[in-house]
Structure 1
Amino acid sequence: MSFYNPPTLQQLAIKGLLRNEALVISSLDCIPIMLFPPLFEEAFKGRHTMILKAMVAAWPFPYLSVGVLMKTPEVETLQAVLDGIDMLLTQKARLRRQKLQVLDLRNVRQDFWDVWAGRENGAHAEDSGREKQVVKSLHTYALWQPLKLVTDLSLCFHLQEHQICLIQWAQQRRGSVHFCCVKMEISDFPVETIREVLDIFRPHYIEELEVFTRKVLSFLGHFAPFLSQMRNLRKFRLSLNDLVMDREALDKCLYKFLTQFSKLNCLQHLSLNGVYFSTDNMKQLCRCVKTPLESLSITQCPLSQSHFKQLSRCPKLYQLKQLDLSGILLFTSHPTGLQVLLENVADSLQTLELEHCSLEDSHLSVLLPALSQCSQLTRVNFCDNPFSRPVLKDLLQCMATLNQLAVELYPAPIECYDHLRNVLVDRFAQLCPELLDIIIAKRQPKKISFATTICLECRHRCVYDMKTILCQCWQ
């Protein structure tokens, strides 16, 4: 049975208004304030650019979130919004009544729009606490500042058409609009253009930064001064595809880059991928981190005993909640430094990623006492490490005492492979349930699995998670 859901009077009124563009524009001073958000939303969806332009100029609230409506950024609608800002800036009557003070181009959650359009029903109040707090701070700031434009920027390979539109417009209005980028992503982007962008969107306001580059030496050298200005940076991810042959030059460049970390007074989350550390550079990193980190990720690089020794002595890591060492090459036969680091973070650590980090039986035996102390762990990942069945049993007996664990990912024991590293399917199906019984004997696991290495033919794994799921080659 189908039910007819007739449109509301408000929806009918909005549709009627949008059919007469001139009437809408001429009547904006008479339209009830609370009709503005739904009317603007429908005008945006229908690409009524002249109405959008006029509504931005007449916006009766101090805050306007446009990014939530831009599912796919379009130059036409973006230009209409920017033209509305131009109208607003030239209106002599702007100071006589409260109008737009913050234009937000970020793609924040939909309830963000509802809150500031006056349609909040409380259903998402708890989930959107941080977002509303951000808007509140922007609003308070805007009361004594010029109009503020807030956005996120993804600078990947080259500028897209809508980005060119925004940046060209912004270059001409730096004196009348305050530009703020909260989250920035840079991927193999020309340093010269980055410099132009950061001349408009000042580095001081960036809170999240993700950088990937293949031109390591030239990029790090030119970007270091900008990093030192990012005093509000909370999250930083640096990924390097290191093709540099001159190791000495790279070490010196990286040393100077890491020195800038001493200026990052708000840093909480640090991720370094493919960054090859000398001993001196690891010392410099530990010395320059000034705030207690919540998460640390050092992946896809070799780490020696001296590296872990430095990390274990860094007091700013003692409150870690997340530690990711996936893909490291463990250049030590007795990882006491990693053992001490785990002991230091045992009271706070919640997530531990040790996937594909060349751990062997001898390494795991050293780490087990420290792992047993990590009582707050909710997620562990030991996949793609060559553990034998006896040592894997020891690990599971250790993990079975940790009652907070919600996600557990373990490797299949080496006894499940032949001498060519092919999976022995029958052996896999036999051993994994036996290993799972070790956990079940002490507690009921929430999400647990045992997995083989990735099959080179089909690029899938054989997985046991209460039932055996074979890769495509064995099905």
Structure 2
Amino acid sequence: IFTMPMKSIRKILKVVQLDSIQDLEVNCIWKLATLSRFLPHLGRMGNLRRLLLSENCVNQLSAQFLNLPHLQELYLDSISFLEGRLHQVLRCLNTPLETLSITNCLISESDLTYLSQCPSVSLLKDLGLSGVNLTSLNLESLQVLIERTSATLQELDLDECGIMDSQFSALLPSLSGCSQLTTFSFCGNPISMAVLESLLHHTMGLSKLSHVLYPAPLESYEDVHGTLHLGLLAQLHARLKQLLCKSGRSSMFWVSASPCPHCGDQILYDTEPILCPCYLPD
């Protein structure tokens, strides 16, 4: 549901069998009065499995989670007032989630603590916190969450979280226990080569881990303005490839991705860089 008059939305919902809806995206900024007219319809979607809420009145919507016993995937994107209120969203869930994605939101340490203890996330297969700034937070609760989900977690996305070397190092022991992990992405974090090598060693025993998307290490930048030195990046990437081969994990796909400082597009590096036009000669 994107921006359109509530009258039009209600007309559509009247001709739809609501308990047959399994996937719903709500991308509207509604006033409370408008939202209140939508809530009864949401409460009748008893077979809903995937719900994406973007910049909405989450407090009111989350109360309807009690009426969604089959909800498996929850996506919260760009919710400006989520900080300090995550418990209000998740406490109404009455079934375990398989996917939880919180993107481009501010959250507090108390939110992380609640998340690590929430009964509905203990069986997560996919956890995404992309764009959630964690720089100033104690990530002990995130460690606990990763450990709690280590038997089921398959995909972990920590892109653009501002995670520093010391924070990332503290997460490594919990990551090493994620036996089902297949994909790990943590681009856009200021991580050094030493920590990347440590990650490689900690995850070497994860037989199902096949794709790792990592940031260009700090040593590959020419200056404080974020200009990549492609020669250095190539050397560092080759070093990681060499370590993978020596460990018998040459098939593991490690790709570096960092935003171009000029336009923001991703610069990827596997065996050769995939560059944005800013790096190409005129």
TM over 0.5: yes
Q: 1:361 to 1:292 in 2, by over 3 A?
A: same
Cα distance in 2 for residues equivalent to 1:429 and 1:210: 41
1:450 and 2:256 are equivalent in the alignment: yes
Aligned runs of 1:410-449 on 2, under 5 Å?
Answer: 410-417=214-221, 418-442=223-247, 443-449=249-255
Cα distance in 2 for residues equivalent to 1:201 and 1:432: 52
Name the structure 2 match of 1:51. none
Q: Contact (CA 8 Å) 2:103, 2:130: kept in 1 or not? A: yes
Return the TM-score normalized by structure 2. Answer: 0.91
Q: 1:401 to 1:202 in 2, by over 3 A?
A: same
| Partner AA of 1:423 in structure 2 | L
Ranges in structure 1 where 5+ consecutive residues have no aligned partner: 1-185, 243-252
- The partner residue of 2:173 within 348, 358, 369 is 369
Q: Offset at 1:415?
A: 1.4
Name the structure 2 match of 1:327. 131
- The partner residue of 1:348 within 152, 170, 175 is 152
Name the structure 2 match of 1:300. 104
Secondary structure in 2 matching 1:334: coil
- After superposition, the C-alpha distances for 1:275-329 in whole angstroms (9 at most, x for unaligned) are 23143x3222222111111111111101221111111111111111111111112
Secondary structure in 2 matching 1:462: strand
Q: Offset at 1:467?
A: 2.9
Secondary structure in 2 matching 1:213: coil
Secondary structure in 2 matching 1:288: coil
Cα distance in 1 for residues equivalent to 2:198 and 2:33: 48
Secondary structure in 1 matching 2:141: helix
Name the structure 2 match of 1:209. 24
Return the TM-score normalized by structure 1. Answer: 0.55
Q: Offset at 1:331?
A: 5.8
Q: Contact (CA 8 Å) 1:208, 1:235: kept in 2 or not? A: yes
Q: 1:218 to 1:274 in 2, by over 3 A?
A: farther
RMSD value, Cα: 1.9
| Partner AA of 1:344 in structure 2 | R
Ranges in structure 2 where 5+ consecutive residues have no aligned partner: none
Name the structure 2 match of 1:466. 271
Moved >4 Å (runs of 4+): 216-219
Identical residues among aligned pairs (%): 39
Structure 1 or 2, whichever has the larger Rg, is: 1
| Partner AA of 1:453 in structure 2 | P
Q: 1:216 to 1:409 in 2, by over 3 A?
A: farther
| Partner AA of 1:297 in structure 2 | S
1:239 and 2:44 are equivalent in the alignment: no
Q: Contact (CA 8 Å) 2:241, 2:250: kept in 1 or not? A: no
Relative to its length, the structure with more helix (as a share) is 1
Alignment coverage as a number of residue pairs: 277
Q: Contact (CA 8 Å) 1:400, 1:438: kept in 2 or not? A: no
Cα distance in 2 for residues equivalent to 1:218 and 1:360: 43
- The partner residue of 1:285 within 85, 89, 93 is 89
| Partner AA of 1:223 in structure 2 | F
